[in-house]
Structure 1
Amino acid sequence: MNFDLTEERQMLQDSLRRFLRDNQDGLRASTRLGDAENALGFDAGIWGKLAELGVIGALFSEEDGGFAGAGFDLTTVFEELGRAGAVEPLLDTAILGGGLIAALGNETQKELVEQVIGGELHLALAHGEPNSRYDLAQVETTAQVEGDDIVLTGRKAVVINAEAADYLIVSARESGAAGDEDGISLFLVPRDSAGLSLRGYALLAGGRAAEVDIDGLRLSADARLGAAGSAYGALKWASNRAEVALAAETLGAMEAATELTREYLLTRQQFGRPIGTFQALQHRMATLLIELEQARSAVINAAGYLDSSAAEQALQISAARNLIGRAGRLVAEESIQLHGGIAMTEEYELAHIAKRIVMADHRFGDTDTQLERFIDQSAA
């Protein structure tokens, strides 16, 4: 089987890598905690240029107004973002938010996808809750029909990109009990809606998120995405795509950490020669390279199964995320160990890359959760 990129994907990779390399300063400023000039958690100028390059459009199918949208298009884009340390919210605005609108929205709602692709609109998925852990069906926020209105009440946790979003896509239960797959609906909620309050904060690995309190928020029925109580399937589909994209982003970060470590070993002198010539360190570096190639194979495999059945997707994505989580932690820890104290300083890029690798494992399901999912799917 040929795993080489197609000509179109190679062109996309080359142009994106060149752009990210030329804008490293802006990208790295966005990853630093407490940067007052990046209150939104990313560089708005870089976001606009990504849209101009067609990067956002590459995440959507032609049917939805883009020009690609397949699994390998996602991994091509996100591997480059991970390598550059970019925190621009492509995953939240395009993969999750835009993907859900494209999957469930009516003609009027789908017009928002065009604005997303053009870089004019930001979205955030407000789905996770304090008690939900990694269970997509664990939704306690309620949606009650009162006359012509729908009233939402509840709380959402760690909503990434919420402060920058023009709309939040809020999940709420219209029927059933918490944990039931049936009965979950999604609603398009303007960020400045009455009854919606945000408490934002910086994330350890860069970017921003918010706790979202929803108290008697009133919406008209046309704010609902799709049929009442039937959003779980679309949520699972978008989550699968997001997990593959996150795995590719982590792979890119692992590549960056490994390359920084290789350069350091060839530069740092001890006893009159580069420390990379010491056999013990060569063995440790070889282990990192082996883990990196295994991670790459896992990402390719997961991307290839994005168009398969739901059960097969779940099995392969869980396997990939489990491997990426374990290999990523090893790469992060060993890179720091091989560097020594400099790797822990705020000024050195590896410290921020390592944070991103480790924290990526805690989104959508950590290594233990992914292993449990893999076992459940294997037994089904």
Structure 2
Amino acid sequence: MDFNLSEDQQLLKDSVDRFIQNEYDFETRRKIANSDEGFSRKNWKTFAELGWLAVGLPEEHGGFGGPVETMVIMEGIGRGLLTEPYLPTVVLGGGLIAEAGNETQKSGILSAIADGSCMVAFAYAEPTSRFNLADVATKAEKSGGGWKLSGHKSVVYGAPSADKIIVSARTSGGQRDRDGVSLFIVDNNANGLSRRDYPTADGLRASEVMLEGVEVGADALLGEEGKAMPVIEKVVDRGIAALCAEAVGCMEVLKDETNEYLKTRKQFGVPIGKFQVLQHRMVDCFIELEQSRSMAYMVTLKLDEDEAERRKAATAAKAQIGKGGVFVGAESVQMHGGMGMTDELKISHYYKRLMQIDTMFGNRDYQLKQFAALTQ
């Protein structure tokens, strides 16, 4: 199989690499992460002008490309450790609307995502749900001609800056039933919606979202009532593929930075890279990186397969990414010595992001259990 990028995909990769090299060095990233919003709206506008925000969206609504183009961008985001909420808005938010939305919802929101005028967050996790997407206690009850939402959503990435939040809520059934889960598009400034915003360990922004009798119209329902789980799982699998690509970008930087450090740091009058034990550890890091890269390619190419193949690919890739990312991060920190954990060195920031990636949508232990269940 030919894994070389097409000419258009290579041009996209080059544009991402140029932006990171010219506009997003680590000190710039540090300043952006420490700003009030935690990302740069100027950069977001640039992303729109470069066409990045349209990747993966339907062509009839201003989009282009597909999973491979998303992989190219997300790997670049990992290399640059970008803090802009690309995954919540484009991959998850745009993906949910493209899959489940009616024509009015698509035309009103997808084009706005593509031109950078609308940001979206996906509120799916709850304090007691752990990694189970179907564990939804948030309630949606019919009220007049619309709906009334009540509940608590946790760790909603991108919510502090989002214009709209897509909320999973239960319209029927028990708390962990697959049937009965619906999706609703809620304005971030809706009456009854409150947020507690905070920076995450990896320098991004998230919120605890409280819904206290939030009233929305009938047009806020996204997709078929009570039948949202297949759509949620499909889009989350795309999110997992995107995270796998981002993790590969992070691991690549850690490998390169650590290898360069071993060539320049001297002990006993020679570069420590001359010591065989450290050479072996670098080889182990390289192997984990390449295995993770292969799995990222695999899950990306299987996103359009049938549900069973897609789910197996996503769980297998996420398990490897969790294992490989944590391994490469820990080894990079250890080979840098104590300063590898300091805030001043970029190594620790990439390691934190890889730890968060391992946890998002289910850590490696959870994914291995899911893979085992799918292959029985």
Query: Which residue, out of 9, 29, 32, partners 1:30?
Result: 32
Q: Equivalents in 2 of 1:49, 1:109: separation in Å? A: 25
Query: Which residue, out of 359, 370, 373, partners 2:370?
Result: 373
1:230-254 alpha-carbon deviations (Å, 9 max, x no partner): 2111111110100000011011100
1:127-149 alpha-carbon deviations (Å, 9 max, x no partner): 11111111111111111112223
Alignment-mate amino acid for residue 29 of structure 2 = L
Given the two structures, how large is their TM-score scaled by the length of structure 2? Answer: 0.97
Report what 1:133 is aligned to.
Answer: 130
Superposed counterparts of 1:186-335, under 5 Å: 186-335=183-332
Superposed counterparts of 1:9-158, under 5 Å: 9-23=9-23, 24=25, 25-31=27-33, 35=34, 38-69=35-66, 71-110=67-106, 111-158=108-155
Give 1:26 deviation, angstroms.
3.1
1:40 and 1:207 in contact (8 A); partners too: no
Unaligned stretches of 5+ in structure 1? none
1:322-354 alpha-carbon deviations (Å, 9 max, x no partner): 111111111011101111112111111111011
Pair 1:359 & 2:361 matched: no
Report what 1:8 is aligned to.
Answer: 8
Alignment-mate amino acid for residue 291 of structure 1 = E
Q: Equivalents in 1 of 2:60, 2:310: separation in Å? A: 22
Alignment-mate amino acid for residue 4 of structure 1 = N
Unaligned stretches of 5+ in structure 2? none
2:124 and 2:153 in contact (8 A); partners too: yes
1:27 and 1:43 in contact (8 A); partners too: no
Report what 2:164 is aligned to.
Answer: 167
Q: Equivalents in 1 of 2:144, 2:2: separation in Å? A: 58
Q: Equivalents in 2 of 1:170, 1:318: separation in Å? A: 24
Query: Which residue, out of 174, 179, 184, partners 1:182?
Result: 179
Q: Secondary structure at the match of 2:361?
A: coil
Aligned-pair RMSD on alpha carbons? 1.1
Give 1:59 deviation, angstroms.
2.8
Give 1:64 deviation, angstroms.
4.1
Alignment-mate amino acid for residue 298 of structure 1 = M
Give 1:214 deviation, angstroms.
0.6
Q: Equivalents in 2 of 1:294, 1:61: separation in Å? A: 31
Q: Secondary structure at the match of 1:197?
A: strand
2:58 and 2:98 in contact (8 A); partners too: no
Deviation beyond 6 Å, 4+ runs, structure 1: none
Q: Secondary structure at the match of 1:372?
A: helix
* 109-118 or 269-278, which deviates more: 269-278
Q: Equivalents in 2 of 1:242, 1:325: separation in Å? A: 14
Q: Secondary structure at the match of 2:37?
A: coil
Q: Equivalents in 1 of 2:279, 2:272: separation in Å? A: 9
Give 1:319 deviation, angstroms.
0.8
1:37-93 alpha-carbon deviations (Å, 9 max, x no partner): x22221111111111111111232424421102x21121110110011112111100
Q: Secondary structure at the match of 1:5?
A: coil
Q: Secondary structure at the match of 2:142?
A: strand
2:57 and 2:110 in contact (8 A); partners too: no
Q: Equivalents in 1 of 2:61, 2:247: separation in Å? A: 27
Q: Secondary structure at the match of 1:178?
A: coil
1:275-327 alpha-carbon deviations (Å, 9 max, x no partner): 11121111111111111111111111111110101111111111111111111
Q: Equivalents in 2 of 1:295, 1:127: separation in Å? A: 26
Question: Number of paired residues?
Answer: 373
Q: Equivalents in 1 of 2:164, 2:218: separation in Å? A: 16
Q: Equivalents in 1 of 2:287, 2:204: separation in Å? A: 30
CA distance 1:64–1:315, shift in 2 (3 Å): farther
